[in-house]
Structure 1
Amino acid sequence: MIKLSRGGRERSAAVLAGISLALAPAALPVVMPTLQPLPAAQAQQNSKPVLRISAIPDQKPEKLNRLYGLVANELSKQLGVRVQYVPVTNYAAAVSAFRTGNIDLVWFGGLTGVQARLQKPGSKVIAQRDIDASFHTIFIANTSSGLKPVSSLQGLSQLKGKRFTFGSESSTSGRLMPQYFLGQAGVKPNQFAGGAPGFSGSHDATIALVQSGAYQAGAVNEQVWRSNLSEGKANPAKVMAIWKTPGYPDYHWIAQPDLDQRFGKGFTTRIQKAILSWRSSNPEQKQILSLFGAQKFIAANASEYSRIEQVGRQIGKIR
């Protein structure tokens, strides 16, 4: 066996290393993947306009998300277009987003609907629920408040000096019409405890606040009141109805004036026909109607809301 000196061993290692490098495969160049164009059908779909729907936030967000998610799916299926639900933070935001064209089809209350149409000439009233032609507000009271159910408008005078809350400041059933009827009964806003009423922000919140005793009384929309009772959220031992108003027109769908130009001739009419066609015999549509608290939708027109506009001007919500 031949022994190599230290220097020889180092030279041999260097030679072997050189051979290894020579035999190693050459480094391959990095090849960036080529982006493939979208399939024609997908690209075409993405280029189509999206129908953006929204609604005034009159109830808890989780219920609204569920309801209008179902509405978006149903309209998309019936109309053959992409439909997206766009939630808004408050009533005024819904009116503002409609004015700027950021939402296309909106479920407004009576007052916000009038405000939106006045700010966006040419917008169209599409439909209302069967219960909206003659809607009602329920005045409620905490059972420990000393307030009693009344049979006439003048009985609302017992609310003077009480802690009272409306819903949203722009709610038809939670502020506009109850303030109108209170005025008819001789009760002014500055005659409540503290010199002013509260504003809870939504019907659900009004019920919860009156039930807790934070307020002695309040005004809520009849449909939400009945829903809270049936679901056990309103406890009759703690909160009760004391008076129901006469009927007035309320909620309705309103569409932007340019939908036919964006989606094709007759599109606004197609939306109306789709909504009016919803029936409880269809499982998906039954869910929608149930969450709306209605049996069906019916045709509506702007002239039906002239009284709402008149009252809105009287209390300074429309100028």
Structure 2
Amino acid sequence: MSPRACAPVLVAVSALLLAGCGGGGTADSSDRPTLRISAIPDQDPAELTAREESLAEYLSSTLDVEVEYVPVTDYAASVSLFRAGDLDLVFYGGLTGVQARLQTPGATLLAQRDIDAEFRSVFIANADAGIDPVEDVAGLTAFEGTRFTFGSESSTSGRLMPEYFLGEAGLDTASDFAGRPGYSGSHDATIDLVEAGSYEGGVLNVQVWEARNAAGTVDRDKVVEVFTTPIYSDYHWLGGPGIDDRLGEGFTDELGAALLDLDGSTPQEEDVLEKYGAGELVPTDAESYDRIEEIGRQLGLVS
């Protein structure tokens, strides 16, 4: 898939070209290459676009550079486009971030949200399935024999860590459900499919679950919250190895600083953080995702 197929959204910063009577001028931001940002498509496309456009506008005004939001069709596309150098900054989940970093030498971990070092998944069930809330991982055996759906196949919170916790409970996801598990493609879709009864059980990102409940878009007469998992590291921003070559020496550091400076001190920053469900952005490092990589290798999702 080419970036053109993604129908990019361009956010441009207007700049003033200053010229002297007898000499040259100062180049405006349109003379610089465009910073291309993206994110894994893990939720409702309209909300995802609004969130990424908000970040694009902030980065444009802060760094004086044009910023292009490039939507992608699936998780794998975000990794392959990043590896090919067609994306500069991507908001990844834990697993896709590990995959992208291993496949792209020189990629840089720039930041994570304050909620990402202690992230969780939530298991849900259709009310007619007769599954009650459980208190620990061992209780996940309640899903044995059910029609069950994960989110995307490459989702950390919608597949990787849930499959790990199901294994800790003694369930083999290849044989202990009623048929093969489904893959809804996004956290929002998982809620909708379980609510409709298409699947008796499912699992998703706890942030999306809480946001949907707060918005009143989950019928709690039809969906039961069964279990919230132990914590793990998840989402983060990854910068490509070619950023400085394209946008100038030191631009990667400037980009990282711009992300970490997001603290909600202006209305624009407050809007970005609200859309990301964060209070602030904080530093992170590769070691924070060692557990994700280890589990990914165990499940055959990292090679």
TM-score, normalized by the shorter chain, greater than 0.5: yes
Letter in 2 for 1:307: R
State TM-score, norm by structure 1: 0.85
Q: Distance in 2 between matches of 1:248 and 1:114?
A: 14
Q: Distance in 2 between matches of 1:41 and 1:129?
A: 40
State TM-score, norm by structure 2: 0.89
1:260 aligns with 2:244: yes
**Worse-matched range after superposition: 275-284 or 138-147:** 275-284
Show the counterpart of 2:62: 78
Show the counterpart of 1:125: 109
Tell me which of 92, 96, 99 is aligned to 1:108: 92
Tell me which of 19, 40, 45 is aligned to 1:61: 45
Show the counterpart of 2:195: 211
Show the counterpart of 1:171: 155
Within-5 A mapping of 1:132-151? 132-151=116-135
Residue aligned with 1:144, SS: helix
**Worse-matched range after superposition: 185-194 or 143-152:** 185-194
Partner deviation per Cα, 1:285-310 (whole Å, 9 max, x = no partner): 11111111111110011111010000
Show the counterpart of 1:270: 254
Percent of aligned pairs sharing the same letter: 50
Unaligned runs of at least 5 residues, structure 2 = 1-18
Instruction: Tell me how many residue pairs correspond in the alignment.
Output: 281
Q: Distance in 1 between matches of 2:156 and 2:175?
A: 21
Show the counterpart of 1:96: 80
Q: Distance in 1 between matches of 2:44 and 2:268?
A: 21
1:189–1:195: 8 Å Cα contact kept in structure 2? Answer: no
Letter in 2 for 1:260: D
Partner deviation per Cα, 1:206-228 (whole Å, 9 max, x = no partner): 00111111111101001000000
1:195 aligns with 2:156: no
Q: Distance in 1 between matches of 2:129 and 2:26?
A: 62
Letter in 2 for 1:118: L
1:166–1:220: 8 Å Cα contact kept in structure 2? Answer: yes
Show the counterpart of 1:308: 292
Residue aligned with 2:189, SS: helix
Q: Distance in 2 between matches of 1:68 and 1:296?
A: 16
Q: Distance in 1 between matches of 2:178 and 2:201?
A: 14
Q: Distance in 1 between matches of 2:177 and 2:110?
A: 41
2:111–2:259: 8 Å Cα contact kept in structure 1? Answer: yes
2:143–2:177: 8 Å Cα contact kept in structure 1? Answer: no
* Bigger Rg over Cα: 1
1:283 aligns with 2:249: no
**Deviation, structure 1 residue 41:** 7.2
Q: Distance in 2 between matches of 1:182 and 1:43?
A: 56
2:29–2:64: 8 Å Cα contact kept in structure 1? Answer: no
Q: Distance in 1 between matches of 2:200 and 2:298?
A: 26
Residue aligned with 2:287, SS: helix
1:234 aligns with 2:218: yes
Unaligned runs of at least 5 residues, structure 1 = 1-38
**Deviation, structure 1 residue 263:** 1.6
Letter in 2 for 1:80: D
**Deviation, structure 1 residue 190:** 2.5
